Amino acid sequence: MTKTQPMTIKRLPEPRDKASRRSFLREIKGFVDSSHRPRLILDLSAIEQITPESIDLLLECVGHAERGDGEVSVAGASPQTSVILEITQAASVLNMFPSVLEAADGHQAHSLQFWKPGYTDDRAA
Amino acid sequence: MEMGALIVAPGGDAGSAIRDSGLCAPSWPVLGKTILQRWIERVQGLGVGLVSVADRNPQEPNRVHTMVEWAKEGVEQVLLIALGSYAEIDLPDLIRFHSEGRRQHTKVFDQQGPLGISLLDRGCILKNREPADQDSDLASSRYDFLGYVVRLSSSVKYRQLVEDALEGRCGIQLTGSQTQPRVWIDETAQVDASATIQAPCYIGPGTKVKAGVALKGCSSVERNCEIDFGTTLDHTSIQPNTYVAPGLYFRESVVDGTRLEHLARSVTVDLGTAGLSARIGTQARHAHRSPRLAHGSGLSRRDAIKEEEHYP
């Protein structure tokens, strides 16, 4: 199979819809398996405040992407969701962008330092 | 000379936060005691036995009635404190200044303006019995205060006061004993031996700090809280009776029950719906649910991500 460096943009399914969740993860796994260094962009702009179930789903996506040496970006997170991702430490394994467009461009809009707090060194210590 | 002290506070209650008013900061405890309690202690330290707390609501006539009743009963001076700031005013010096002046009313100012603290003579009170009269700009003396002041207008200011107190930049005396230099832990608090406590910090009465918890950056945990396994508090204050779920990282925040105010981002978030914090004493505390990553205390991030889905 020819490996490419593709990118896909998706929205998270409803947190309590198990069938949609299974289907979503199946698609992600299929995408990662057929790609080399895949880039997965998850559009959170429709979510006011992320739920723990959705954070778990994000982290499963990270797990899949890392197995394919890829990366996961989230775009359009609300201020509330950004805070939740920060305090649950999910933000430390995600690239965060203000919009899907900027995520697709790959620019680290705003400063990366803003989104990735300086405690990463402390944790590693 | 008999003196009374009337403290005007949101809700007029020494122990409660006024959650709907957006003015929590003056009601929150600062390292064991509320600002109101600290004012009461300072006034009582002057030997003033007549102390009353009235509701800030201007519709409540209590404060005027209280002052007028005191004046009728022969109280010569009333110290009126509108609770909204922590100010280390030298009260004996204020009284001396007022007595030496010719006005019946002395107002305290700092460089930003009035601090809401006044000293009124009996005659002044009896002449101005209506609330509108009390609020009017009476001919008054101006007492300029140049010492330590924090106006508790926001959670940012609240955190400033906490940090100043922990760093010894103001005169707030902390409750609890110092278990190590600049680490104050109440005797009734339970702190697991594996918790990392970086000075300065404060842990209040009845609080439980579980294994793997880290406190740093002038963090404070007030009374009857529970900080669950592996959570880190960095430049953060936890208000009384708050449960915080395991494996979380808080920075530059104030958490009061389920309400988090992130000061660096200027965002308020309800953590209750995500099960990340709760008011102790409510059922929500037992229904918390952190994301799996948050449960990975002691594990690497990737180890904490488990594959649970099965694909047909």
At A100-118, the pLDDT tens digits run: 999 988 744 443 333 333 3
Whether B215 and B233 have beta carbons less than 8 Å apart is answered as yes
ipTM above 0.85, yes or no: no
Closest residue on chain A to B301 (Cα)? A93
Which residues in A61-92 are b (16+ Cβ under 10 Å) and which e?
bbbbbbebebbbbbbbbbebbbbbbbbbbbbb
Whether B68 and B75 have beta carbons less than 8 Å apart is answered as no
CB contact under 8 A, B260 and A51: no
- Alpha carbons A75 and A97: distance in angstroms, whole number: 5
Please give the model's pTM, rounded to 2 decimal places: 0.83
Residue A89 with chain B: CB contacts under 8 Å:
247-249, 293-294, 301
CB contact under 8 A, A51 and B274: yes
Convert the pLDDT of each residue in A69-94 to its tens digit: 999 999 999 999 999 999 999 999 99
* Contact status of A5 with chain B (Cβ, < 8 Å): no
CB contact under 8 A, B307 and A60: yes
**pLDDT at res. B274:** 87
Mean per-residue pLDDT for B166-188?
92
Query: Percent of chain B, pLDDT > 70?
Result: 79
* Contact status of A79 with chain B (Cβ, < 8 Å): yes
At B132, is the secondary structure helix, strand, or coil? Answer: helix
Residue B289 with chain A: CB contacts under 8 Å:
52
Smallest Cβ distance to B307: which of A26, A63, A92? A63
CB contact under 8 A, B251 and A119: yes
Closest CA to B210 of B193, B229, B223: B229
B148 backbone φψ class: left, alpha, beta (φ>0; ψ -120 to 50):
beta
A16 backbone φψ class: left, alpha, beta (φ>0; ψ -120 to 50):
alpha
Convert the pLDDT of each residue in B180-213 to its tens digit: 899 999 999 999 999 999 999 999 999 999 999 9
**pLDDT at res. B289:** 53
Residue of A18, A87, A89, A93 to mutate when probing chain B, most B C-beta within 10 A:
A87
Mean per-residue pLDDT for B161-189?
93
Mean per-residue pLDDT for B150-171?
95
Residue A49 with chain B: CB contacts under 8 Å:
269-270, 273-274
**pLDDT at res. A43:** 95
Domains located in chain A, CATH noted: 7-124 (3.30.750.24)
Distance from CA of B292 to the nearest CA of A (A): 6
CB contact under 8 A, A82 and B267: yes
Smallest Cβ distance to B291: which of A79, A90, A117? A90
**pLDDT at res. A113:** 35
DSSP calls for B144-200: E--S-EEE-SSHHHHHHHHHHHHTTSS-PPPPSEEEETTEEE-TT-EE-TT-EEPSS
At residue B229 the predicted structure's pLDDT band, cuts being 50, 70 and 90, is very high
Angle, helix A18-33 to helix A52-67, in steps of 10 degrees: 20
* Contact status of A116 with chain B (Cβ, < 8 Å): no
Convert the pLDDT of each residue in B103-145 to its tens digit: 889 999 999 999 999 999 988 888 876 544 454 555 789 999 9
Higher pLDDT, A1 or B252: B252
Residue A50 with chain B: CB contacts under 8 Å:
274
- Alpha carbons B72 and A21: distance in angstroms, whole number: 74
Domains located in chain B, CATH noted: 3-151 (3.90.550.10), 174-295 (2.160.10)
B310 backbone φψ class: left, alpha, beta (φ>0; ψ -120 to 50):
beta
Residue of B196, B232, B249, B271 to mutate when probing chain A, most A C-beta within 10 A:
B249
Closest CA to A37 of A1, A2, A7: A7
Tokens representing A29 are 């796994």
- Alpha carbons A9 and A4: distance in angstroms, whole number: 16
Query: How far is CA A25 from its chain centroid?
Result: 13
Smallest Cβ distance to A117: which of B251, B267, B274? B251
In the Cβ-directed half-sphere of B94, how many Cα atoms lie within 13 Å?
27
Closest residue on chain B to A21 (Cα)? B309
Distance from CA of A2 to the nearest CA of B (A): 23
Contacts of B183 (CB under 8 A, 6+ apart): B197, B199, B200, B201
Closest residue on chain A to B308 (Cα)? A60
Whether B217 and B199 have beta carbons less than 8 Å apart is answered as no
A3 pLDDT higher than 60: no
Residue B273 with chain A: CB contacts under 8 Å:
49, 51
**pLDDT at res. A108:** 46
Residue of B265, B301, B307 to mutate when probing chain A, most A C-beta within 10 A:
B301
Place of tokens 């990735």: A116
